Structure 1
Amino acid sequence: MKDNLPRLSASPEPWTRYRTLIDLCGRSEKDPDVVSARIAMLADPLVHSLMADLRGWPGKALSSHKSSSQVYHKLAFLSDIGIHSDDPGMPEILAAILALRDDDGVLCIGQRQVETAGNTVASKNIWALCDAPITMAAVAKMGLSEQPDFVRAATFLVNLGRDNGWPCRLSADAAPWRGPGRKQDPCPFATLAMLKLCAAVPALSQSVEADAGAHALLDLWQNSRELHPYMFYMGTDFRKLKVPFVWYDILNVTDTLSRDPSVRKDPRLQGMMDVIRAKALPDGTYAPESDWKPWADAGFAHKGDSSDWLTFLILRIEARLRA
C-alpha cells in the first residue's frame, strides 16, 4: 500500500487526495493538505454536476435500479467521497430528500396514486429495498446517522431482515411486485444495500440482522456455482472491477463487508479479496474492467485505464482487513 500512497495523496482527483489523506494516512480534517483537498473537491466540476442533478429530487423516474443514472447512486457517490450535509448546496438537496417519506419515515424516490376510503385517490410515497437503503445510507454518512427519526426509520427497514438476509420487498403502497425468485430467498442486492445502511448507522451496525446479512452474502460467494437467488450471479461479470459503486459486484460487496469487523478474518471474504488482488497492474494500481457509460466524463471510471479512485478503494479495503 505504501508504494502508491504518494501517488494517491497527489492525485489530480481531489476526492481521492482527500480520502487518501483521511482514511489511509490518518490525517486530521484540520491538516492543511486535507483542507486544500477538500476545498478543491467542493469546487470540482463533477461534484457540481452531480449536485445539480440532485436539485430536482427525485427527478425523472427510471425503471432500472441498475441504472447508474439513478439519483440515489449519484447521492451515494457524493457521500462516499465525503460530502457533508452542510456543504454548499446540500441543505436544499437534503431538504427535498427528507420531505419524501412514507408513514414509517422511510425515504422514498417515487409516488403512486392509491385509492383510499370513500373512493378518494391519494398520492403515496413509495420505496423498494433496492433503493431506500442506498438513499438512507448516503444521508446517514452525510451527518444524519444519529437523528432519532432517521434511526427509527432505518430500524424499521432493518427489522425486515430474516436469518438469510433481506427479502425482495416494497412499501405497502407500492404496486404489487416481486423479482424473479422464491419468496423465501434473500435478495442479494437488497441485502447489500441494507448492509450499507447498517454500516452507516452506529446503532444498527452490530445488529443481529446485519450479521445475518453479511453471512448470507458470504454463503452466496461460497456456493456461487449453485445459488443464484433472484438471478443474481457471482460469475464473470460479478468479478469485474467497476466504479462507482452501483450494482451487485465483487468490489461493492467486498467494500461493504469489510466495514464489518466481525467478518474481516472470514476466509470467504479473504477469498473475494484474493480475486481482486490478482487484478493489480504491474505498478500496483487497478483499472476498471467494465464501466458505466453515464460516468464517462469521470476520469476514474474508464475501462482499462489505471484509476486512482479505484486503487484507493481497494487499498482502503486492504487496510480494513489488516485492522
Structure 2
Amino acid sequence: MDLQSEKMEEIYDYCQGYDGEAITRHNDFNHFIHRIGLLLDAGFDTNDEGMKRIANKILSDQSEEGAFLSTLQISKNYGGTGLPESGWMLCDFPVLLYFLIKMGYEKDNRVKSAINYLINLSDQNGWRCKGSFERFRGPGRKEDHCPLATLYALKVFSLLPEYHNEPFVINGIDAICYHWQISTERKIYMFGMGKNFRKLKYPTHWFDIVHVVRVLVNFEYAKGTQEFKEMIDIIKSKKTQEGDFIPESVFTAYKGWDFGQKKSPSSSLSNVINEILDKV
C-alpha cells in the first residue's frame, strides 16, 4: 500500500513508544489501538523487530478470562470512576487481538485464550456492549448488539476460516444485515447506516461502509446476502472513470495524507476498495 513513508515512520515510532496512555474515547484515531492497524496496512509484519515488540507489549497485559487489556478512562456518567484504569471493552480488546493474529500469533496460548473468550462473549444477535467495568452502560438498548463491537469481533474471525460457519459468526453477520435493513428507521448504539455511513473513508478504523464490506467480504455467507450486495453496489457506483476512488469523508487526524482530503483520488483508499472488489 502506498502510504507516505515519513508519516508512517512517525506512527511506527509512536506505537513503539506507547506506554499505556488512556483511551478516553474510542474514536480517538491518534491512539495506539487504531494506529497499529495502519501499520499492518502499510505492510509492516512479523519480520520487523519493532512490530514484534509491539506484539509482546500487548501479549504481556491480559485478564484472567483472556481479554487483552488497555488503560481506559471512563466518565462517571457511563459507570466509570473518571480515572485511568486497566480493563477492556468490546471496542478495544478485539482490535488488539486482530493485530496479534495478523502478526502470526494465532497459535500462542494467550491468543487462543483470547479467541475463546471472544466467542464466549457473543450473544444471539452478535456482540453486545460489554466490558470489564461492571457499571458501564453504553448509549443504547441493552438487548441490541453493538455495531462496532460486532464489526471488530467479526474482523477477528475473518482471519480464522475454521470459524466462518459457526453460529456466533452467522449471528454477527445477520446483526449487521439487520442494521442495514432498518437503516432508515433508527440508529443502534448511536451508530447509523445512513448518509454518513455510506461515504467512502479510510483508514478502516470506525463504523463505515468501506470498513464493513472489508470485513464481510471474507465470509462466503455474508457475500450471499442482499445487504452486502447493496453495499458493494453503492461503493462501485463511486468509482471514477479512471478506476479510482475519492474520499468523501476524512479523519482529521490524517490531514495531509492522500486519504485526508476530499478533492482527488486516494491511492490508499482505492487500493483497499479494489482489494475488496477482487474478492466479491
TM-score, normalised to structure 2, is 0.89
Q: Residue 224 of structure 1 corresponds to which residue in structure 2?
A: 183
1:7 maps to what in 2? none
Q: Structure 2 residue aligned with 1:106, among 67, 71, 76? A: 67
Distance 1:231 1:246 in 2: 16
Displacement of 1:290 in angstroms is 1.1
Query: CA, structure 1 residues 219+87, in 2 after alignment: closer, same or farther (shift >3 Å)?
Result: same
Matched residue type, 2:92: D
Provide structure 2 residue ranges, at least 5 long, that are not aligned to the other structure.
74-83
Q: Give 1:191 shift.
A: 0.4
Candidates 251, 254, 267, aligned match of 2:213: 254
Aligned length: 270
Code of the residue aligned with 2:255 in structure 1: it is A
**Are residues 1:164 and 2:125 paired?**
yes
Return closer, same or farther for 1:79/1:145 CA change in 2, 3 Å cut-off.
farther
Are the equivalent residues in 2 in contact too, given 1:57–1:97 (CA < 8 A)? no
Shift, 1:175, TM fit: 5.8
Aligned partner of 1:193 among 135, 152, 172: 152
Cα distance in structure 2, aligned partners of 1:307 and 1:235: 23
Q: Which residue of 2 aligns with 1:151?
A: 112
Confirm or deny that 1:87 pairs with 2:48.
Answer: yes
**Per-residue displacement from partner, 1:184-224 (whole Å, max 9, x unpaired)?**
11000110011111112344343221111011101111221
Equivalent residue number for residue 290 of structure 1: 249
The Cα offsets for residues 76-101 of structure 1, whole Å up to 9 and x where unpaired, read as 12223432123131122222121121
Instruction: Give CA deviations for 1:30-74 in whole Å, capped at 9, x if unaligned.
Output: xxxxxxxxxxx8x93233221211123354223211121121111
* Secondary structure of the structure 2 residue equivalent to 1:155: helix
Q: Which is richer in helix?
A: 1
Residues 201-253 of structure 1, C-alpha deviations (whole Å, 9 max, x = no match)? 34434322111101110111122112422121111111111110111111111
Q: Is the 8 A contact 1:221 1:234 kept in 2?
A: yes
Give the distance between the partners of 1:268 and 1:299, measured in 2 at CA. Answer: 30
- The whole-number CA distance in structure 2 between the counterparts of 1:137 and 1:128 is 14
The residue number in structure 1 matching 2:172 is: 213
**In structure 1, how many angstroms separate the alpha carbons of the residues matched to 2:58 and 2:257?**
25
Match of 1:133 in 2: 94
How far apart, CA to CA, are the structure 2 residues paired with 1:62 and 1:125? 10
SS of the residue 2:273 aligns to? helix
Q: How far apart in 2 are the matches of 1:111 and 1:131?
A: 10
The residue number in structure 2 matching 1:49 is 10
Q: CA–CA distance in 1 between the matches of 2:154 and 2:198? A: 20
Q: Is the 8 A contact 2:88 2:131 kept in 1?
A: yes
Question: 1:7-36 CA distances to partner (integer Å, 9 max, x unpaired)?
Answer: xxxxxxxx24xxxxxxxxxxxxxxxxxxxx
Residue identity opposite 1:222 in structure 2? Q
Q: Cα gap change, 1:70/1:204 in structure 2, threshold over 3 Å: closer, same or farther?
A: farther
Within 1, Cα distance between the matches of 2:130 and 2:39?
A: 26
Is 1:275 equivalent to 2:234 in the alignment?
yes
CA distance in 2, matches of 1:195, 1:185: 16
Are the aligned partners of 1:100 and 1:125 in contact in 2 as well (CA < 8 Å)? no
Structure 1 contact 285–306 (Cα < 8 Å) conserved: yes
User: Tell me, what secondary structure is at the counterpart of 2:86?
Assistant: strand
Amino-acid identity (%): 31
> Is the aligned partner of 1:69 residue 2:30?
yes
The residue matched to 1:276 in structure 2 has which SS? Answer: helix
Counterpart-to-counterpart distance in 1, 2:219 and 2:260? 26
TM-align CA RMSD: 2.1
Equivalent residue letter for 2:128: P
* Aligned partner (choices 134, 141, 149) of residue 182 of structure 1: 141
CA distance in 2 between counterparts of 1:60 and 1:289 reads 31
User: CA separation in 2, counterparts of 1:88 and 1:296?
Assistant: 29
Query: Partner of 1:273: helix, strand, or coil?
Result: helix
